[in-house]
Structure 1
Amino acid sequence: MKPRPNGLRGLSLEGRYRSDRQDVVQGFYLPAFSVATSYSRAVGYFTSTSIALFARGIETFADRGGTMRLIASPHLTEDDVLDIERGYDIRAVIERATERELEAEERDSVLDGLGRVGRLIAEGRLDIKLAFVEQEGRVGIYHEKLGIFRDAVGDLVGFTGSSNETLGGLVANFESVEVYRGWVDGDGVRAIRLEEDFKALWANRTPNLQIEDFPGVTRDRLIKLGQERDTQLSPRDNALAPPPAVTNEATHLVLPNWLSVRAYQRLAVEAWLGHRGRGILKMATGTGKTKTSMIAATKLADVLRQREEPLVLLIIAPLQHLVDQWITEVESFGVRPVPVYESSQKWLPLVEEQLSEVRLGQRQIVAMVATNASFAGDRFQSVLSRISQPLLVVADEAHNLGSSAYRSSLPSTATYRLALSATPERWFDDEGTDALIDYFGPIVFELGLGDAISMGALCRYTYQPSLVELNDAETQLYVDLSAQIAKCVAAGESVTDADPNSPLSYLLRQRAGVLGHAEGKLAMLRNDLNAHAHSWFQLVYCAEGGRPAPQGVPRGPNQLREVMNLVGNELHLAAHSYVSETPRAERKVLLRRFGAGDDLRVLVAMRCLDEGVDIPDARTGYLLASSSNPRQFIQRRGRLLRLADHKDRAEIIDYLAVPPAGTPIHFEVERNLLTRELERANEFGKLSENYETTLDVLRPLKERYQLMHL
């Protein structure tokens, strides 16, 4: 009998693997890895999670002496692509993108995997290159998927298809792989062609594709991570098979050793507990509402533990990046919470398992942090309806939950309720405000901005209002809108109580848009930025959307783009935009770069830095537009007044657009509308270090509209 050949030729490989017919992992990948000596792969994005899982898959293969080459596409953001297309150094942009991916992940399982990557690189077992499409000055994503196995006797297997070497790509998804065996008639030519394609890629000889070496800074960082985590690694596992189940030990909340509880935080917690664990903490932005609430939750859990009762802690936050901040905060108090957002397939099994352990007495606490949207979703509402253990609901930026869409979702079974907000009163929504108080209880503790500054919880600040006159075109549009608003008011409609969907509200938004986008603000901003050209930690808040225009005329330029052009291209200051479309991982990197004080001088934002973002290093803020809603300007001021090392005061420059003196507009209507603008400026000024400046700047305007009492 002829002996069976060794290596790849000795495997019973099929020409195609598809999830509905074969097990791609058991039938193809594991056997091939068990006998191959080299592996070349071009696939998907370079992300921290995928590369960490990948390392788990090849570690045993590498221990046998196997070597690997990997080509992946860097995860480029829109700003990265624009930088490349504008001629920025490609290597620098790619280095920034790969660094961003490593910064975005802090889980131990992923860091362990990245440490393995570093060790494989250091041992010469793994080499990585990055690819992207570059054609006619435009940048695109390289997303081809092909692979080649070689064995010790030179046999070749090439394959192409939809799968990735991750647990999700190979087990959870529906995948198909076409396999070409080099020793089989008809397959050999295809297998060699795939290998030649890979060789051309690796040598950067593929038209319209740009192949770059893996950034040296990132390579060194991975190698260092491998050295640092060498003794911390969990037992080796394999990404090509489901990881073993991990049993979480029951734990409890505990105050961190490094935490020094401030006197006002202690008073706030005592007030809430004294109200039977219900109430609202109305604390100025930046005074530590998050830590105060966690101190309260810890004290409550201590009481319940003495009674041998568990605690289910539910924290609700408006947006995903705030959920991420809360998770870090809760973990510092000794408990790893379940993040509840995005697909329920990710969080529902964990939530159900932990709640089951609580019911069986096997766990002392379950902590969950949910976005408003996921909290109100049917899946999570179903979970809430079945919780019978003591439940504490903590609402961050609680004013958002007063809307009719959310307040009906708040669980009536919650024994303990804590609302956090600097401005719990909803703007022109008494019904929503009353609903919040009915559910959470009254304001049990209040810490205003003045008191917070006096006690050193927030830093001092100066405030400089700058009046900007509208140009002729803006004035004409402003006059037309004011006339239409006057007609609505004459017909009995109220400016302060207007339905958000009414024609009057639309006119008011258009009028505010004219003021917010006033062209003269850019010239003043240029002068002020020039005066601060050598300063770090600067924020610019832009108006939303494009510049309003008369009916039938397209809207004007986007202010954020205009400001980015001014700051970056004209003044040559290092700047970056920070908007709702900015990915969460990118936001984290931007805030780190901004806080370093040696990289980004200016962040240019549109709404995204209003609520909840912790950016204490910010020292100078330029307000090109703020609504008259007190919540927005209070949040923006709070971003700038947080304490930081070497920061003794902040500076706020507020650009207020007004029509020229003598503009023919309805006096009473204009006076009523301007009242809200001046009240905002006065609110900023009265607690500043230079209130007299505010009064001097605003005096001519107050005299013109008979508002000296403000």
Structure 2
Amino acid sequence: MTVPARSLRLLTLSDRYRSDQKDVVANFYVPALSAATSYSRAVGYFTSTSLALFARGIEAFAERGGTMRLVASPHLDENDIIDIERGYDVRQVMERATIRELDAEQPEAVLDGLGILGRLIAQERLDIKLAFVEQQGRIGIYHEKIGTFRDAVGDLVSFTGSSNETYGGLIANFESIEVYRGWVAGDGTRALRLEADFQALWSNQTPNLSVEPFPEVARDRLVKLASERPKASLPGRDDALTPPQVVATEPARLAIPEWLTVRDYQRNAVASWLRHQGRGILKMATGTGKTKTAMIAASQLAHALRQREEPLIVLVLAPLQHLVDQWVTEIESFGVRPVAVYESSQKWLHTVEDQLNEARLGQRPIVAMVATNASFASARFQSVLTRISQPLLIIADEAHNLGSSTYRSALPLNATYRLALSATPERWFDDEGTDALIEYFGPIVFELGLGEAIEMGALCRYLYLPRLIELNDYETQLYVDLTSQIAKRLAAGDSLKDTDSDSPIGFLLRQRAGILGHAEGKLTQFRSDLQARRESWFQLVYCAQGRRPTEPGDPPGANQLQDVMNLVGNQLHLSAHSYISQTQRTERKHLLRRFGSGDDLRVLVAMRCLDEGVDIPDARLGYLLASSSNPREFIQRRGRLLRRADGKDRAEILDYLAVPPEGTPINFEVERALLRREFERANEFGKLSENYERTIETLRPLKERYQLMDM
């Protein structure tokens, strides 16, 4: 057989190339490209810089009509990976990463290489595909590194090893590759196997991998560049192997954004926390900026640690996923991309461990994570926490939720710094949980009450309009029966403080609250109130949970949320939408944007939502149909309505209080004790309103009836 002048078989190829012995580029890649007619390559990632390294071989390769196939992952940065984990479209992120690489400022040698690449694409001699791992809901980066060369007579050279097609992979790093020559005994089978692996990859038939075409916009960009660059004569240009100048970039760090005006009370809160050695509770009224205050504190702490060349690990805990998303956005505004820790650990574990390793090695000054309470308490994340030896700051949003036995036992003892945030850190009827939170986080180091916040303008003023609703005959009978059963439990030694739904009295109390919350007369009054305000925007309605209680054996009662939606939308013809726990997170964001526009969605109807942490500052009108004597719930709901917004100087709260008709035969002392809790809510709402006298006058008849004038 006559061997062509340019042939793989004529090359002096070793079976192994290692950085301590041979230059991998000069001794293997460039000669192989000069002799081959086809080149197939699968790599971890492919950058434009690598084309400069290939420039001498590619020119000749192109002139001979050589064809190339590349499978690679674009060089995803930390932001790309986090976006993928947060649900962004993978292909769009990969397109963005590819364009970013092509748009980066490059030396002339690299631009010449890109021009050659564009010409190869235009001449249909080069095809590129992008690969990524897609397994059990986790997106990963394709890391395999194999390649094959074929020449004009069909000889095959396959190779595998640690090199990437980057300057770092081919020149700067210590790398090695194994080479298999198809005509050498013992090598042929391995060479063919690697070629078959590549073919399966190229045709997207490899399990757990998704292989997509190169983005059209990137392809067009390269073809355009080819027409703009002169056809350089690259052979012999030594500067093709000269790496581009590396511009050192400062690692991301927490910093207070320039646009943020730090309020005096926020500055005082941070100073007090720092004086307590970075431990304590900020008890700040809902809407006064607890999140930003916490981030200001974290930024100050991170700055102090940087002076000692120490990293800071920040872990924010939040009860719900949508609050995690809000914290992620907030932390980003302070200059750091945090890792969202919720759902499957496959979505966050790899990134978390990589960043923590970088912090240990001194390569990352700040690691930020935001976790749901549930994911935080999981065995997988607890294992991660126990291995952290660097300074750790725990920020607990709505910290009262962590007072349960499950969560408080998971709080890491290796956290040097601890910051709890809550408008109501005291747990309702749970002194043990409250004491545990104070023992872990420290005492309340700063307090900003609602009255003070309104006075200083951090929150807006409001009107409070209680509506007294009498139970109908059916509801009254149910109410009397339940009150009688509650009286018997109290006589047996039970306590009204027992709110556990599994306890006998806890169950009865929930049933009683259901009757009051679902009182039919509330809808009649609500219709009248809403009709009078039908031209107003930014209205919230809080509905009672579940269905209206009924006697055993009777059909299930009505659902208040459905009744309200029918009244608002079908009867009064106002634009409305429900906002409940089943509403998807993406839909929630869309609804809040519509609501905040002030020209689309007039009314949001909620059930067990729009409480903790949801930021809807435009809300001006609130209808509280749900009956709650839990201070945390009604304080949170009031806080939703008192946030400042452009064009908003006052809010209005309508509170629907259901009571049995006068003269109802009922245990007076028990009823008096139960109603005292209802009046405490009304007093709490009324005393800071602009019309407290009206609240007093509305409630006076009932207070006199039940001898509660001392309240």
Q: Measure, in 2, the Cα distance between the counterparts of 1:65 and 1:686.
A: 79
The amino acid of 1:393's aligned partner reads I
1:392-403 to 2 correspondences below 5 Å: 392-403=393-404
8 Å CA contact retained: 2:498, 2:506? no
Q: Deviations over 1:378-412 (max 9, x none)?
A: 11100000000000000000000000010000000
Q: Measure, in 1, the Cα distance between the counterparts of 2:600 and 2:267.
A: 38
8 Å CA contact retained: 2:518, 2:560? yes
Q: Measure, in 2, the Cα distance between the counterparts of 1:372 and 1:392.
A: 16
Q: Deviations over 1:578-597 (max 9, x none)?
A: 01111111111100100000
The amino acid of 1:524's aligned partner reads Q
**In the alignment, which residue of structure 1 is the partner of 2:208?**
173
Q: Deviations over 1:408-444 (max 9, x none)?
A: 0000000000000000000111110000000000000
Q: Measure, in 1, the Cα distance between the counterparts of 2:601 and 2:122.
A: 46
**In the alignment, which residue of structure 1 is the partner of 2:662?**
661
1:18-97 to 2 correspondences below 5 Å: 49=89, 52=92
**In the alignment, which residue of structure 1 is the partner of 2:479?**
478
State the percentage of identical aligned residues. Answer: 72
The amino acid of 2:507's aligned partner reads Y
Distance 1:249 1:342, change over 3 A: farther
Q: Measure, in 2, the Cα distance between the counterparts of 1:603 and 1:385.
A: 43
Distance 1:505 1:361, change over 3 A: same
**In the alignment, which residue of structure 1 is the partner of 2:309?**
308
1:53-202 to 2 correspondences below 5 Å: 173=208
The amino acid of 1:514's aligned partner reads I
Q: Measure, in 1, the Cα distance between the counterparts of 2:617 and 2:207.
A: 42
Q: CA deviation at 1:497?
A: 3.6
Q: Measure, in 2, the Cα distance between the counterparts of 1:341 and 1:670.
A: 44
Q: CA deviation at 1:58?
A: 12
**In the alignment, which residue of structure 1 is the partner of 2:370?**
369
**In the alignment, which residue of structure 2 is the partner of 1:599?**
600
SS of 1:420's equivalent in the other structure is strand
**In the alignment, which residue of structure 2 is the partner of 1:273?**
274
Distance 1:267 1:477, change over 3 A: same
**In the alignment, which residue of structure 2 is the partner of 1:264?**
265
**In the alignment, which residue of structure 2 is the partner of 1:502?**
503
Q: Measure, in 1, the Cα distance between the counterparts of 2:96 and 2:309.
A: 41
Q: Deviations over 1:172-205 (max 9, x none)?
A: 73899xxxxxxxxxxxxxxxxxxxxxxxxxxxxx
Q: Deviations over 1:129-184 (max 9, x none)?
A: xxxxxxxxxxxxxxxxxxxxxxxxxxxxxxxxxxxxx99x98773899xxxxxxxx
Q: Measure, in 1, the Cα distance between the counterparts of 2:320 and 2:499.
A: 28
Segments of 5+ residues of structure 1 without an aligned counterpart are: 1-22, 24-29, 34-46, 67-165, 177-225, 232-246
Q: Deviations over 1:305-361 (max 9, x none)?
A: 111111000000001100000001001001110111111111111111011011111
1:489-528 to 2 correspondences below 5 Å: 489-497=490-498, 499-528=500-529
Q: Measure, in 1, the Cα distance between the counterparts of 2:251 and 2:555.
A: 60
**In the alignment, which residue of structure 2 is the partner of 1:119?**
none
Q: CA deviation at 1:257?
A: 0.3
Distance 1:344 1:498, change over 3 A: closer
Segments of 5+ residues of structure 2 without an aligned counterpart are: 1-41, 43-67, 72-86, 100-117, 125-200, 212-216, 223-247
Distance 1:646 1:389, change over 3 A: same
Q: CA deviation at 1:498?
A: 5.2
1:348-387 to 2 correspondences below 5 Å: 348-387=349-388
Q: Measure, in 2, the Cα distance between the counterparts of 1:597 and 1:335.
A: 32
**In the alignment, which residue of structure 1 is the partner of 2:579?**
578
**In the alignment, which residue of structure 1 is the partner of 2:143?**
none
8 Å CA contact retained: 2:513, 2:627? no
Q: CA deviation at 1:51?
A: 6.3
TM-score w.r.t. the length of structure 1 is 0.68
1:637-648 to 2 correspondences below 5 Å: 637-648=638-649
**In the alignment, which residue of structure 2 is the partner of 1:447?**
448
The amino acid of 2:281's aligned partner reads I
Q: CA deviation at 1:652?
A: 0.1
Greater Rg over alpha carbons, structure: 2
8 Å CA contact retained: 1:626, 1:633? no
SS of 2:89's equivalent in the other structure is helix
The amino acid of 1:495's aligned partner reads L
Q: CA deviation at 1:627?
A: 1.3
Q: CA deviation at 1:572?
A: 0.4
Distance 1:347 1:58, change over 3 A: closer
8 Å CA contact retained: 1:594, 1:602? yes
Distance 1:306 1:481, change over 3 A: same
**In the alignment, which residue of structure 1 is the partner of 2:340?**
339
Q: CA deviation at 1:457?
A: 0.3
**In the alignment, which residue of structure 2 is the partner of 1:702?**
703
Distance 1:386 1:457, change over 3 A: same
Distance 1:53 1:645, change over 3 A: closer
Q: Measure, in 1, the Cα distance between the counterparts of 2:499 and 2:571.
A: 42
Distance 1:170 1:630, change over 3 A: farther
Q: CA deviation at 1:499?
A: 4.3
Q: Measure, in 2, the Cα distance between the counterparts of 1:397 and 1:626.
A: 22
SS of 1:431's equivalent in the other structure is helix
Q: RMSD in angstroms over aligned alpha carbons?
A: 3.1
**In the alignment, which residue of structure 2 is the partner of 1:330?**
331
Distance 1:171 1:695, change over 3 A: farther
8 Å CA contact retained: 2:501, 2:510? no
**In the alignment, which residue of structure 2 is the partner of 1:419?**
420
Q: Measure, in 2, the Cα distance between the counterparts of 1:458 and 1:594.
A: 20
**In the alignment, which residue of structure 2 is the partner of 1:243?**
none
Q: Measure, in 2, the Cα distance between the counterparts of 1:413 and 1:258.
A: 34
**In the alignment, which residue of structure 1 is the partner of 2:252?**
251
8 Å CA contact retained: 1:477, 1:550? yes
Q: CA deviation at 1:253?
A: 0.6
Q: Measure, in 2, the Cα distance between the counterparts of 1:473 and 1:609.
A: 31
Q: Measure, in 1, the Cα distance between the counterparts of 2:339 and 2:475.
A: 51
Q: Deviations over 1:14-58 (max 9, x none)?
A: xxxxxxxxx9xxxxxx9899xxxxxxxxxxxxx961663697899
8 Å CA contact retained: 2:498, 2:505? no
SS of 1:393's equivalent in the other structure is strand
**In the alignment, which residue of structure 2 is the partner of 1:680?**
681
SS of 2:609's equivalent in the other structure is coil
8 Å CA contact retained: 2:545, 2:607? yes
Q: Does 1:624 align with 2:659?
A: no
Q: Deviations over 1:560-587 (max 9, x none)?
A: 1111111011100000000111111111
Q: Measure, in 2, the Cα distance between the counterparts of 1:333 and 1:323.
A: 16
Distance 1:409 1:617, change over 3 A: same
Q: Deviations over 1:442-477 (max 9, x none)?
A: 000000000000000000000000001111111111
Q: Deviations over 1:232-260 (max 9, x none)?
A: xxxxxxxxxxxxxxx99632111100010
**In the alignment, which residue of structure 1 is the partner of 2:291?**
290
**In the alignment, which residue of structure 1 is the partner of 2:544?**
543
Q: CA deviation at 1:555?
A: 2.7
Question: Number of residue pairs matched?
Answer: 507
Q: Measure, in 2, the Cα distance between the counterparts of 1:596 and 1:329.
A: 21
TM-score w.r.t. the length of structure 2 is 0.68
Q: CA deviation at 1:293?
A: 0.3
